[in-house]
Amino acid sequence: MAFSGAQVLLFPFPTAGHIIPLLDLANHLINHHLKLTILVTPQNLPLLEPIRAIHPSDSIQTLCLSFPQLPAGSSFAARVRATSELYDPIVDWFRTHPSPPVAIISDFFLGWTHKLACRLGVRRIAFWPSGAFTCLVISHTWSNVEEILSTTNENSLITFTNIPNTPEYPRWKVSTLSSQYKKGDPDWEFLRGGYFENMKSWGVVFNSCREIEGVFIDRVKKEMGHDRVWAVGPLLPLDNNLVGPYYFQRGGSSVMPRDEVMTWLDDKADDSVVYVSFGSRAMLTRQQADALATALECSGVNFVWCLRIQEEGHVAGYKDVITKEYENRVANRGLIIKGWAPQVAILRHRAVSVFLTHCGWNSILEGISSKVLMLTWPMGADQFISAELLVNELNVGIRACEGGCQVVPDSVELAHILSESITGAPPQKERMSKLHDSVLEALQKGGSSSQDLDAFVKQIGQLQNETI
């Protein structure tokens, strides 16, 4: 493979949910003949193994830097601010590089890299592993955070004048992070300022597409005052024929062999299985896990439940919920995976029809790519907003539980929702099928995402001859 010579530095926020989609983007950029360096911490190096295994060694390099250790209990804002400790090491790396990058593509939590790029004389592109709808909600929330927090009523409605149709959402849904904001606190002011730096950056890349978020993408362009806003997703291919080993291994190895999972699913009828997963970070309380286990058992549906074992010291552990007796009772129709699972392969299996999800953006795109009905159970962060997009804006999702990490669903009601999602014919299924097909077209040559990716790579290539 011949490379154009354009070198780009990719800087993900150091958590799996942010690293994985940026690596998905990296895979596409390498296939478009760009040369990449990925900044990664030592503990996250294993996440790069699948992508490094399928590309030439000269196409992808790593810049391995350690973040400073923070005291236990440090705020998320402190974690974000700590990433700026890498400012000088990155400058030193640039200064000594024989062919330094022409651009920095960094996660939206790393808004400070805009000033870094300005000092280095290169362009900074903000990467949103989530969508434009979320971007607009977050932008409005942080721009008006003091007014929003001036009321103590978490149910007070916030009107989003910067979003088409001016939606309103209760404060608790949109301020899961900003509600912790402390005016004048250096960490929180740093975090808030980073969001404003995102809007000053040279460009923005979304892991989304016009078919999902067209009107919201146009609004971001309007707010930024230019068209350097590219929607290149879903970065995960929708065509099963294009999904190779990298996409089945991204994020880590499954605790249960993929072949074993597929064999279990092969024995099930088409569209008869519910897949349940809450992502790489969310953990259910004991009461929530009890309610979900009861609902799955009483619903009568086939299911695959991917759960994370909570560490010692947390409020709940699963060993008392998922007992041997429970596993025996559901053995013929329930597969329980205690740890990381091959989610893409599971969702795309012919037997899987429904996805009970925490509404992380990666999971949403994987659900759309698999044409499955999504039952929403957001737990925190931007997941409430993503659930609103699925249920109210796109009409392809059904609410399963709402209220976050402490609300316990009624197990009888949840069992009914699970059963109806498999045996019934909710209109959301048909709309999801149409959305899937239109998004698939966006990824084909000449489609909106394909065109945006080509245009983005072309502009990056032109930066080699540009002086800032």
% of the chain exceeding 90 in pLDDT: 68
The mean of the pLDDT values for the chain is: 89
- pLDDT grade, residue 346 (50/70/90)? very high
Spatial CB neighbours of 85, under 8 Å, sequence gap ≥ 6:
67, 68
- pLDDT grade, residue 341 (50/70/90)? confident
- Classify 375 as helix, strand or coil: strand
Work out the number of other CB atoms within 10 angstroms of the CB of residue 307.
21
| pLDDT, mean of residues 405-422 | 93
* Residues with catalytic roles: 18, 107
- pLDDT grade, residue 370 (50/70/90)? very high
- Classify 411 as helix, strand or coil: helix
107 vs 312, more confident: 107
Can you give the pTM of this predicted structure? 0.90
Answer yes or no: are the C-beta atoms of 171 and 140 closer than 8 Å.
no
Give the per-residue pLDDT at 2: 47
Answer yes or no: are the C-beta atoms of 210 and 217 closer than 8 Å.
yes
Lookup: tokens for 35: 């040369």
Give the per-residue pLDDT at 313: 41
332 vs 351, more confident: 351
pLDDT value at 356 more than 70: yes
| pLDDT, mean of residues 281-309 | 88
Answer yes or no: are the C-beta atoms of 302 and 335 closer than 8 Å.
no
- pLDDT tens-digit profile of 134-147? 999 999 999 999 99
Q: Which of 1-15, 45-59, 270-284, 442-456 has the lowest mean pLDDT?
A: 1-15
| pLDDT, mean of residues 8-23 | 92
Give the per-residue pLDDT at 1: 44
Residue with tokens 């409020």: 315
Nearest residue to 12 (alpha-carbon basis) of 97, 122, 110: 110
Spatial CB neighbours of 80, under 8 Å, sequence gap ≥ 6:
13, 109, 110, 187, 190, 191, 194
Instruction: Report the phi/psi class of residue 394: left, alpha or beta, with left for phi > 0 and alpha for psi in -120 to 50.
Output: alpha
- pLDDT grade, residue 6 (50/70/90)? confident
Give the per-residue pLDDT at 342: 86
Name the residue type at position 161. T
- pLDDT grade, residue 287 (50/70/90)? confident
Spatial CB neighbours of 192, under 8 Å, sequence gap ≥ 6:
142, 145, 181
- pLDDT tens-digit profile of 175-214? 888 989 999 999 999 999 999 999 999 999 999 999 999 9
Work out the number of other CB atoms within 10 angstroms of the CB of residue 44.
16
Instruction: Report the phi/psi class of residue 359: left, alpha or beta, with left for phi > 0 and alpha for psi in -120 to 50.
Output: left
| pLDDT, mean of residues 156-163 | 92
DSSP 399: E
Give the per-residue pLDDT at 111: 97
124 vs 288, more confident: 124
319 vs 123, more confident: 123
Give the per-residue pLDDT at 312: 45
Distance, CA of 261 to CA of 140 (rounded, Å): 43
| CA angle, residues 262, 429, 24, in degrees to nearest 5 | 55
Residue with tokens 């971001």: 220
Distance, CA of 400 to CA of 410 (rounded, Å): 10
Distance, CA of 391 to CA of 399 (rounded, Å): 7
Give the per-residue pLDDT at 252: 59
